[in-house]
Structure 1
């Protein structure tokens, strides 16, 4: 088992969580002050593009890019969060510890959300 090499973590990314407010009728809506997302952390990451594909979402065909993103281990990363790298917004589809247990490997998807 090898430890996570910090030299591979070259990209600063944002982890964001949904930010919602009461809609006045018993439901929730995205907070207009934050466009529905608020920053949780800004970890350094290794980002590797895996493959691109076409996908149909909401009756619209879009190009979808799959990514593998590795960050230092955190206990609060779930698929409810998203990752922002520059102008690329990635939905987290899975999060698992690396072999050594000191890193977290995220499987992410961009493009399916229109960005």
Structure 2
């Protein structure tokens, strides 16, 4: 893995359920890790749903191996949010983790 390719600092966040002042359970996001990453867009599409146009952007994010990441987490890059769809230990060597993501638009 080339260190130069990992030029974007991203925050991996995990969900936490919090009870608000009304006694309702809400989801709050806390930082799991801050890492350097390569963000690779894979596809984008527009589609019709419920009489409106929706957009979807998918991609992958490469980082150094980091155990504990799950598809329940998300990645924050600046103002952009990516939901993690799959976590891959590339070649099962514990060197690189590939996150397959879908951007929240």
Q: By percentage of residues, which structure has more strand? A: 2
CA distance in 2, matches of 1:55, 1:90: 19
Task: Number of aligned residue pairs: give it.
Answer: 101
The aligned residue for residue 39 of structure 2 is 47
- Tell me, which stretches of 5 or more residues in structure 2 are unaligned? none
With the length of structure 1 as denominator, give the TM-score of the two structures.
Answer: 0.77
Q: Cα RMSD (Å) of the superposition? A: 1.9
> 1:14 aligned to 2:6?
no
- Tell me, which stretches of 5 or more residues in structure 1 are unaligned? 31-35
Give the alignment of 1:1-115 within 5 angstroms: 4-22=1-19, 24=23, 28-30=25-27, 36-55=28-47, 59=50, 61-99=53-91, 100-111=93-104, 115=105
CA distance in 2, matches of 1:45, 1:53: 24
With the length of structure 2 as denominator, give the TM-score of the two structures.
Answer: 0.83
User: Structure 1 pair 65/21, CA: closer, same or farther in 2 (3 Å)?
Assistant: same
